[in-house]
Every structure is written in structure tokens, then in C-alpha cells.
Amino acid sequence: MKAPTVPNTSFVDKEFGGVDQLLEYCKALPKIELHAHLNGSISPESLRQLAEKRLAGTVGEAEAATGALSVLEALEWKDTFDLKDFFPMFKHIYALTNNMAWLVFIVHGVIKDFEDDGVRYLELRSTPRDDASTGLTKELYVQTVLQAISTSPATKISTRLILTIDRRHSPEVAMQIVDLAIRFRDQGVVGVDLAGDPYAADFDCKHALLKAKAAGLKVTIHLGEIENREAESASMLEVRPDRLGHATFLSEQLRAHVYEERIAVEMCMTSNVLCRTVSSYEEHHIKEALELDHPSILCTDDKSIFASPLSCEYALAASTFSMTKQQLFDLSKKSIDAIFANSEEKTRLRGVWDTWAP
Ligand SMILES: CNc1ncnc2c1ncn2[C@@H]1O[C@H](COP(=O)(O)O)[C@@H](O)[C@H]1O
Ligand SMILES: [Zn+2]
């Protein structure tokens, strides 16, 4: 795993005693992860294992495995992305995660990775999908992911699921996903997300998101990921989402609205800088949000694609904005306020933070 770029080494030396100590502190710190796409969070080792098993299969399977292995190879040297060629990569990952046994394997692996990195509460998000070649349906997908969450051997982390609507989904499919979220809400689904390639399709699922809200589910939306989408962002905000992903490009008026309404923002610094929607860590919009004490949660987005676990995101924030250990602790503890689980879970988690000793 690549180490994070630490822009302010002299600060790090003074407060932490060096980059290694900073990383160690950030790993030990209990953390909340609220923006992690399942298929973007699978470790390269797990993907390689799945691909190698498939290489020995049918011609079609071997082709899928070769595609995935070439993505893995490319990721080893890639250090910037273009949003336009980022999304097609998932096709190759999906070819490895389209059967139920493998889904369980990857969910167990992803939860363990987050636990090992010090995450104590995780909201995983994933897009239910069908695959005729393996008999996978959206419903089975959700059931399988939930079953994997409940059978995960990890004991120090609790995990919930958010169902993702892809922008390319029709309004009918979006509604189907909301209906699945409602159906499985007592089994660990806490909300609905809107994600996917922001260039690929316009926002077309307002009714579905409003239905989710009306049913008492929480809603988070990838908002303002690219420039010049003011009308779309305004329309998305009319849904009254409970959280926002990124919120990078917003007019002054919309940003003021987000601040006034105190809508928590899931901040993915590495993802934004590597995808070049933010020009540098120093200029990331989390800077202003932190100065205004606006609810902000550090998140990974796709930790295996961007090679940055959550502890690295904390280390980056600390070194970029000269944050002290106490400030990092407060930031991670305040993230509890924004989770989609109920108040008992929030109280339980606050107890974990209050009894933590570095
Ligand atoms: C750069 N940031 C991003 N912006 C928007 N959507 C993203 C994303 N990163 C990932 N996804 C969405 O998550 C899916 C993969 O996980 P799941 O199949 O759902 O588990 C991708 O296909 C894409 O739709
Ligand atoms: Zn995302």
C-alpha cells in the first residue's frame, strides 16, 4: 500500500514525532467509515485470488479474469484518474463478484480490512445487480451481502448497508431498489445512495428517493462531483438528503444552503485529488468546512482503487491542515452524529470513543 503524501512534514515531526508515528496514531484511532463502495473496496489480494481461480475456468471466465488482472496491474502504477475512464473499470471487477459465494468472500474481506485499520462502525454501500449467467438477482444480491455482514467473523466493528441507485438506472429500477431497501431495513439496510458516473446520465430518480425518505430511510447523494451541474444539484437538494457525498462543485448559494441546513458531507480527499476534481489536498473543500465546524466525515470512497485506507485519510488531513491528535479524535468522534443507525448505536459508539486510550 502506498503511504500518503504528507505535505507538512515539519508539523508532523513536531506533534507526532514523524510520519510513521502519525500513521500509527491514525490507525489506532477508532474511526467511522460512511462512504465506501463495496466493489471499490476489495483488496487487490482478494481480487487477485478470485481472478486466479477463474483463470482455470471456462473460456468466458478466463477472459473475465484476464480483464480483471489487467486492471490490477494498471492500478499498481496509476496515480491519477480521469472520471471518464474510472467507471468502466468496474465492469472487470463485477465479472469477479457475480456469484453468491464470492460475494460473501469479498464482504468478509472488506469488513476485516476496515476493522484492521481501526474502523469501529462501517456503512458499506453497494448497487444491487442481476447476472443471468450465475442466477444473481438484485434481491439475492442484497440478501447475500446482508448475510455476509451478519456472518462476518469481525467482532470489533459493526456494519450496516446502504443500497446504491446508479444514475444510469431507470426510474423503475431506482424504485425497485428503494423497495428492496424498505423490505430489508430490519436486517441491516439503513439507507439509499445515488452514485455512478456523473457524466453518464441525468438525475432521474427523485420520486424513488422521496419514497425512501417518506418510508423513514436515510438518503445520501453524490452531489456536485463535476462542474456546471447547478440545476441538478438544486433538484437533488430538494429531496432533503441526510448526507452528501463529495459536494465539490456548488454555487455559493447552494453551499450556503448546505451549511445552513448542516447537511453532513462525506469527504473523500484522496479520491477527489486522484480523480482531479480537486487540484490539491491543501485546496480541498474540507478546509473551509472544518473552519466553519460544518459536519464533515473523512471517508475512503474506493479504498483499493485509490490505495488509501481510512487511517491514511486521517493522516493526510492532519498533515495538510496541521491538526492535532485531539482534533483528529474529535473529528472521528463527531462522525458518530452522522451515522444512519439508531440512537442506541450512537450511544454505544460514543462509549467506545470515551474509553479509548491512545
Ligand atoms: C469516484 N467516485 C465515485 N463517484 C460515483 N460513483 C462511484 C464512485 N466510486 C464508485 N462509485 C459507484 O460504485 C460502484 C461500485 O461499487 P458497488 O458495485 O456499488 O458495490 C461503481 O460502479 C459506481 O457506480
Ligand atoms: Zn462515492
pLDDT value for 207: 98
Q: Which atom of ligand 1 is nearest to the CA of 97?
A: 18
Nearest CA to ligand 1 atom 1: 271
Domain 9-42+103-353 superfamily per CATH:
Metal-dependent hydrolases (3.20.20.140)
Distance 37 CA to ligand 2 centre (A): 6
CA distances (Å), origin 245, targets 1, 35, 37, 59, 324: 25, 7, 12, 39, 25
Q: How many CB atoms lie within 10 A of CB 207?
A: 13
Average pLDDT estimate for 129-133: 95
- pLDDT, tens digit (0-9, with 9 covering 90-100), for 7-20: 788 899 899 999 99
Would the pTM of this model clear 0.90, i.e. be above it?
yes
For residue 232, the surrounding DSSP H or E stretch is helix 230-237
Confidence of residue 72 (pLDDT cuts 50, 70, 90): confident
Residue 148's nearest CA partner among 106, 192, 95 is 106
Q: For the chain, how big is the Rg over CA atoms in Å?
A: 19
Task: Supply the mean pLDDT for the chain.
Answer: 95
**C-alpha cell belonging to residue 57:** 475456468
**C-alpha cell belonging to residue 61:** 471466465
- pLDDT, tens digit (0-9, with 9 covering 90-100), for 223-245: 999 999 999 999 999 999 999 99
What's the rounded Cα separation, in Å, for the pair 8 and 19? 10
Positions marked active-site: 225
pLDDT value for 10: 87
pLDDT value for 3: 55
pLDDT value for 160: 98
Residue 203's nearest CA partner among 176, 218, 225 is 225
ipTM > 0.85, yes or no = yes
| 92, 86 contact by CB (below 8 A) | no
Please, what sign has the CA dihedral across residues 234, 34, 340, 293? negative
Q: Which atom of ligand 1 is nearest to the CA of 127?
A: 19
Distance 33 CA to ligand 2 centre (A): 12
| 40: pLDDT strictly greater than 80 | yes
| 222, 195 contact by CB (below 8 A) | yes
Confidence of residue 74 (pLDDT cuts 50, 70, 90): confident
Distance 59 CA to ligand 2 centre (A): 33
What's the rounded Cα separation, in Å, for the pair 336 and 350? 7
User: What are the structural domain ranges in the chain?
Assistant: 9-42+103-353, 44-96
DSSP structural state of residue 122: E
Q: How far is CA 89 from the centre of its chain?
A: 17
Nearest CA to ligand 1 atom 11: 196
Residue in 164, 269, 303 to alter for ligand 1 test, most ligand atoms within 8 A of Cβ:
164
Identify the nearest ligand to the CA of 277 by its number: 1
Q: Which atom of ligand 1 is nearest to the CA of 124?
A: 20
**Strand pairing category for 218-223 and 264-267:** unpaired
Q: What are the backbone angles phi and psi of residue 31, rounded to the nearest 5°?
A: -135, 160
Those residues whose beta carbon sits under 5 angstroms from the ion ligand 2 are 301
Within 78-199, strands assigned E span 119-126, 158-166, 189-195
Average pLDDT estimate for 93-103: 93
Q: Which atom of ligand 1 is nearest to the CA of 166?
A: 24
Within the chain, strands assigned E span 31-37, 119-126, 158-166, 189-195, 218-223, 243-246, 264-267, 296-298
The residues lining ligand 1, judged by C-beta closer than 6 Å to any ligand atom, are 37-40, 86, 90, 126-127, 164, 166, 195-196, 222, 225, 271, 275, 301-302
Nearest CA to ligand 1 atom 23: 196
